[in-house]
Amino acid sequence: MKLKSLMMAAALAATSFSASAAWPERPITLVVPWAAGGGTDAVARMVAAGLEKELGKPVNVVNRTGGGGVVGHTEMVNAKPDGYTIGLATAEVTTFYWSNTAPFTYEKLTPIALVNFDSAAFNVAANSPWGDLRAALDDIKKQPVGKYKLSGMAAGAAYHLAFAGLLQLEGIDPKAVVVVPSQGAAPGFQELASGGVQIVPSSLPEGKPMFDAGRVKSLAVMSKEKIGAFPAVPTVKDAIGKDYEGGTWRGLAAPAGVPAEITAKLVEAADKVANSEEYKKFLAERGFGHAYAKGPAFGEFLATQHKNNGEIMGALGLRLRQ
């Protein structure tokens, strides 16, 4: 009986190894937790096209929307860990646990590659009395909570957390500036131009139409280096002498438990796609930021994001779990 059990275990192991070695044998599904036509969808489709070339099998993008990204990320986490369902995870996955909107953390995912990072910018109306970031932060620090407002997102969204982190860096209560929720940057900029709010933290490309119209200006971008298409906008370090990065990101991930051999193939394929000139050109033309972290490095990035977001959400009163 013992011999029979050992033989069965060996057979199963051999079958598993054979399946991993042969992978992929059929099309792969790439889950996107946001709607078709948006920025995440555009990045996903470009990455999918590159993966198809590298892996030799179709990679089909499937949009699973709802719950502020919870639906799509839940599908990634709950998928069979066989390499045939992967996803383009976004920054929100490192906030769900803290806000109690989902029971899982990034640890339920196999990190494949960080493929994009869009830095937040500190945008104000063109006629704002703040001439630079230092003036803005000093003024906010002196005023009572709620004196100034921001918009362009929901409370607790990635750009809100990036902005709150900047306030914390300066010793300012992150709740000092109140969020007026909006469905994205566009309505937020309209509110800014009309005087309803004083700040919209968004990516620089999202603000370009308003910059070009002379209705909005950017005091700084929360990135290590200036954004090539916006050379006049200083980094936070340029503006106040302190390093600070904040924004939103996208990265390839699979459910936890994917066999090591399959994970290695996915990581290698993603490495070639994310560092290709074709992909970099695509990002640059659309104003997306190029960022890359391979496999374990992406895992470390996720751990840091999870920890930092938990702390900032706690300071904002948005953290519902310990």
Q: Tell me the per-residue pLDDT of 131-178, one tens digit each, with 9 for 90 and over.
A: 999 999 999 999 999 999 999 998 999 999 999 999 999 999 999 999
Total domains present in the chain: 2
Locate 214 and state its tokens: 């002379």
Structure confidence by residue, pLDDT tens digits, 48-91 = 999 999 999 999 999 999 998 999 999 999 999 999 999 999 99
pTM of the model: 0.89
Per-residue pLDDT at 210 = 96
Residue at 15 is within a domain: no
pLDDT average, residue stretch 93-119: 97
Residue at 224 is within a domain: yes
CATH number at 156 reads 3.40.190.10
Locate 250 and state its tokens: 């996208």
| Domain final position from 187, 209, 240 | 240
Tell me the C-alpha distance between 169 and 311, whole Å.
13
Give which of 290, 277, 252, 273 is closest to 46, Cα–Cα.
273
pLDDT at 126 over 70: yes
Q: Are residues 147 and 252 in the same domain?
A: no
Tell me: cis bond preceding 205? Omega within 30 of 0 counts: no
